[in-house]
Amino acid sequence: MNATHWQDVTDLDLLKACLPDNQQAFEALYQRYEKRVFHYLMTVVNDATLAEEILVDVMLAVWKGLTTFQGQSKVSTWIFGIAHHKAVDGLRKVTSQQRGGIPIDDIVESPDPKDGPFEETNKNRLAELTNQAMMNLSADHREIVHMAFYEGQSYPEISELLGIPVNTVKTRVYYAKQQLKKTLQHHGVKEDIL
């Protein structure tokens, strides 16, 4: 089976196809998740080198766990659960200074009034501000925003992979979103854009 064929295979079937030692299938699984997991890790640890190191650790753990995966949760939940634990370990390694983030006022340029109203800001500018505002959140809030808004995972899935109650997921998502909104508004992003 070539790489193209794996595209139509479900996560669970692809996982099963990796056994007993199918390197092609495992490579397809890696390709399916490398960007998603890497982006998630970037959101949490905010360091490309560290994120890449953790990505390798995560996929190695996935490879080791192929025979023990019970299928009780979705494959993506399982993999992101591993990524969460590895990311927490990775965060412990970095200094508190790195972990604390950078004050948003230090990294976001306020719009120059001569540039006109902020609605003229293009999507990339908004993306830049959004990224910086996200990085100013706590690691817990960055992580949950990523899961809920980017990955589009359900609260029960997030609850499972983070090991926290569903109600905590609800409130954490809500407060993280409110914090993002305030930060962006502070830097001139109008409510109708948000």
Q: What does the DSSP 8-state code read for residue 67?
A: T
170 binding other proteins? (CB under 8 A): yes
N-to-C CA span, the chain:
46
Distance separating alpha carbons of residues 71 and 75, to the nearest angstrom: 7
Give the shortest CB-168-to-other proteins separation in angstroms.
Answer: 11
Among 109, 127, 165, 186, binds other proteins (CB under 8 A): 127
Distance separating alpha carbons of residues 83 and 54, to the nearest angstrom: 8
**Contact yes or no for 167/86 (Cβ under 8 A):** no
Site for other proteins in 38-97 (CB under 8 A): 38-39, 42-43, 48, 51-52, 55-56, 59-60, 63-64
Q: For residues 17 and 126, which CB has a smaller minimum distance to other proteins in the complex?
A: 126
**Contact yes or no for 43/24 (Cβ under 8 A):** no
**Contact yes or no for 110/188 (Cβ under 8 A):** yes
The residue length of the chain stands at 194
125 binding other proteins? (CB under 8 A): no
Q: For residues 51 and 114, which CB has a smaller minimum distance to other proteins in the complex?
A: 51
| Binding site residues, other proteins, CB under 8 A | 23, 27, 30, 34-35, 38-39, 42-43, 48, 51-52, 55-56, 59-60, 63-64, 123-124, 126-128, 130-131, 134, 145-146, 148-150, 152-155, 157, 170-171, 173-175, 177-181, 191, 193-194
